[in-house]
Amino acid sequence: MTSTTLTKPQIKQLRGMAHQINPLLLIGKNNITETVVSQADQLLEDHELIKCQLQEGALLSTKEAATELADMLNAAVVQTVGHRFVLFRASSKDLKNPIKLVRE
């Protein structure tokens, strides 16, 4: 699967939104397991924009974990900062307040 591609204005918009959210997904020393993937998939369906955090002892770098998870979930990496990264994927659910991406 290929990950979703975002334009620069969309990334800027999502980064601003992500600034206010807390990490919902924690990745530990077992790195990206099936449980982490299914949990991330469910979180993306429910929220569209999620912040993830690598715990102490994780063997992957933040960029590696973000890219790997985004590829597995057909999501877009919005940003990586320190031990945290943000993923976005439009939900297939009928959400009350879906994220409306800006158009160029």
CA dist., res. 43 & res. 82, Å (int): 21
Note whether residue 103 is domain-resident. no
Residue range 28-53, pLDDT digits in tens: 999 999 999 999 999 999 999 999 99
Domain residues for 47? 8-88
- The helix, strand and coil proportions of the chain, stated in percent and rounded to the nearest 5, come to 35, 20, 45
What integer pLDDT is reported at residue 104 of this predicted model?
63
| Nearby residues of 33 by Cβ (< 8 Å), 6 or more positions away | none
Number of domains in the chain: 1
pTM, rounded to two decimals = 0.91
Note whether residue 2 is domain-resident. no
Tokens found for residue 31:
């790195």
Note whether residue 104 is domain-resident. no
What integer pLDDT is reported at residue 47 of this predicted model?
94
What CATH number is attached to the domain comprising 37? 3.30.110.60
Which H helix or E strand runs over 86? strand 84-88
Note whether residue 24 is domain-resident. yes
